Amino acid sequence: MLRHATKRILGLESPVATRILPRFYHERVVDHYNNPRNVGAFDKNDSTVGTGLVGAPACGDVMKLQIKVDEETGKITDACFKTFGCGSAIASSSVATEWVKGKHTEEVLTIKNTEIAKHLSLPPVKLHCSMLAEDAIKAAVKDYEAKRGKSVASTTAKS
């Protein structure tokens, strides 16, 4: 029922509706909406997990992006997200989880919102969603580094 309603909204069902709509989602955004990648959650108390939580519900967008890091290599082995927001926000954070996998935590800090926006062909009004996704990545890495810092400090204190 929901799919039917959204298909109507997106104008995917009737060709007449598609012609009338002045703007519509890029197919990549629709793809992430229909086939969401990496939706889920890791245990945030796990020492190998970094959690980035950004946004404000009052603004309409909240993203939680989590990364699982291999402690030896510093590479991100897995990522997942949960986003409350518009289709563009969901797609941006979904793309972010795809792009961080397999990369070093330092490398992912160079992922720019402009790249995400270009990849999804986001219209001007939705560029803020891509910025939020970039912030979510940075926040997740920051959280992981902070946790690591704390555990290193506690082990040195013990010894």
Partner 1 sequence: MAFSPKFLQRVSRSLNSINNCRLLSSSTDSRVLLQHSEAASRPCSSFVHNNNNHCHVFSRDFCSRTSSFDQLNSQGPAAIDYSASLQEDEFHKLADATIQDLLEKIEEYGDSVDIDGFDIDYGNQVLTVKFGSLGTYVLNKQTPNRQIWMSSPVSGPSRFDWDRTAEAWIYRRTKAKLLETLENEIEQLCGEPIKLS
Annotated catalytic residues are 59, 129
Q: How far is CA 74 from the centre of its chain?
A: 20
Question: What is the per-residue binding string for partner 1 in 111-130, x denoting contact by CB under 8 A?
Answer: --xx--x------xx-xx-x
Rule CB under 8 A: say whether 16 interacts with partner 1: no
Rule CB under 8 A: say whether 11 interacts with partner 1: no
Number of Cβ within 10 Å of residue 91's Cβ equals 30
Among 38, 68, 79, 83, contact with partner 1 (rule: CB under 8 A): 83
Q: How many residues bind partner 1 (CB under 8 A)?
A: 44
CB of 130 to partner 1, least distance (A): 7
CB of 6 to partner 1, least distance (A): 7
CB of 156 to partner 1, least distance (A): 26
Token pair listed for 77: 């082995």
